[in-house]
């Protein structure tokens, strides 16, 4: 007879998730001290939402009363065609296609339905980068990889180009154990970051990260970033591009993550883009997060570098 954990992992595979790891829903004591120090240093920049719900971020039972298990999931987004050099302005690979929040949340709804069909009624919630959940810590705890020096989860067989998602349930499951850190003495991500955002191994000053500057920051981009943006208009993949483990990345098979038309825009069309064109081209994209004015600001700043 199959255990609940085996059934859960079979459902994950059926729904296209790359990996599935299980952890016991307990307070993340070790991560608490790291998070507190990180916040005190101001590395969150103006992402004030990271300062709230401190306990919820570390204790899954605060999000789901009676929680027994955290199911961590990995969904591949590595593109078959790399558009980094062919597009006049660079967009992080995770945003090539439709918004992952929507795509994966739908899969998680199916996931819970399948669990209830095969196991029985469960209480819980699904998360896709949408609530105070310490995603990378749970994924590492569930053995899906280790948190690298660039603060991203890295898998020995598949690199780091993937989304993380979680199901926090009142279902008791056999937990998986963590794996060792395979970064070793490598510092390629630290050396390659043009803004020196990886302030020390395993610590990222988000306020200096190009992804933060082009997406989260709503103010004008500080002048200290002049000449350092390297044409990134939305997000940044530099620390992933140089990571040796990403030589094992394989192309995803999710049709909804294929480029939605923005890749055909010329440099002139990028520069002269109107709000109407922006709304059409990025209708289902995560790029909408920066809004038209934000993308305009990013492109104008990059142009002034030239």
**pLDDT tens per residue across span 16-70:** 999 999 999 999 999 999 999 999 999 998 888 788 778 889 999 999 999 999 9
Supply the pLDDT for residue 138.
97
pLDDT mean across residues, the chain: 95
For the question of whether the overall pTM of this predicted structure is more than 0.85, the answer is yes
177 falls in which pLDDT band (50, 70, 90)? very high
Q: How confident is the model over 190-242, as pLDDT tens digits?
A: 999 999 999 999 999 999 999 999 999 999 999 999 999 999 999 999 999 99
pLDDT beyond 80 at 306: no
Residue 2 or residue 248, greater confidence: 248
CB atoms within 10 A of CB 136: 20
Task: Check if the beta carbon of residue 207 is closer than 8 Å to that of residue 45.
Answer: yes
Supply the pLDDT for residue 140.
98
Supply the pLDDT for residue 217.
96
Q: Average of pLDDT values for 76-104?
A: 96
Task: Check if the beta carbon of residue 24 is closer than 8 Å to that of residue 68.
Answer: yes
- The residues, ordered by sequence, that sit 6+ positions from 63 with a Cβ below 8 Å of its Cβ are 56, 125, 127, 131, 132, 133, 168
Pairing mode, strands 124-127 and 146-147: unpaired
DSSP assignment letter at 132: S
300 falls in which pLDDT band (50, 70, 90)? very high
Active site residue 59: no
Q: How confident is the model over 136-149, as pLDDT tens digits?
A: 999 999 999 999 99
Supply the pLDDT for residue 55.
87
In whole angstroms, how far apart are CA 4 and each of 1, 9, 164? Answer: 10, 9, 21
> Could you say which of 59, 99, 129, 191 is catalytic?
129
Supply the pLDDT for residue 111.
98
The domains located in the chain, with CATH, are 4-78+97-169 (3.40.109), 188-305 (no CATH)
Tell me the C-alpha distance between 141 and 70, whole Å: 10
């Amino acid at each position: 007879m199959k255990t609940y954990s085996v059934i859960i992992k079979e459902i994950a595979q059926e729904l296209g998730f790359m990996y599935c790891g299980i952890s016991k829903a307990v307070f993340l004591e070790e991560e608490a001290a790291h998070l507190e120090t990180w916040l005190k240093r101001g590395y969150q920049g103006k992402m004030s939402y990271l300062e709230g719900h401190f306990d919820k971020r570390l204790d899954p039972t605060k999000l789901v009363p009676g929680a027994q298990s955290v199911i961590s999931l990995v969904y591949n987004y590595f593109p078959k065609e790399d558009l980094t050099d062919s597009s006049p302005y660079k967009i992080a690979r995770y945003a090539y296609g439709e918004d992952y929040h929507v795509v994966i949340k739908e899969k998680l709804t199916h996931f819970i339905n399948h669990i209830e069909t095969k196991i029985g009624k469960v209480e819980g919630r699904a998360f896709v980068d949408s609530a105070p959940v310490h995603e990378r810590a749970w994924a590492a705890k569930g053995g899906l990889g280790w948190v690298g020096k660039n603060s991203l989860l890295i898998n020995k067989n598949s690199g780091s180009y993937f989304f993380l998602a979680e199901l926090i349930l009142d279902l008791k499951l056999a937990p998986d154990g963590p794996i060792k850190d395979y970064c070793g003495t490598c510092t390629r991500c630290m050396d390659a970051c043009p803004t020196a955002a990886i302030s020390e191994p395993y610590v990222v000053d988000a306020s200096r990260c190009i992804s933060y500057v082009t997406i989260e920051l709503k103010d004008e981009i500080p002048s200290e970033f002049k000449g350092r943006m390297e044409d990134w208009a939305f997000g940044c993949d530099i620390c992933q591009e140089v990571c040796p483990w990403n030589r094992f990345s394989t192309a995803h098979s999710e049709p909804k993550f294929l480029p939605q038309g923005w890749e055909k825009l010329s440099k002139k069309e990028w520069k002269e883009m109107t709000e109407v064109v922006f709304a059409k081209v990025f209708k289902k994209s995560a790029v909408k997060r920066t809004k038209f004015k934000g993308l305009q600001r990013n492109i104008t700043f990059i142009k002034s570098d030239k």
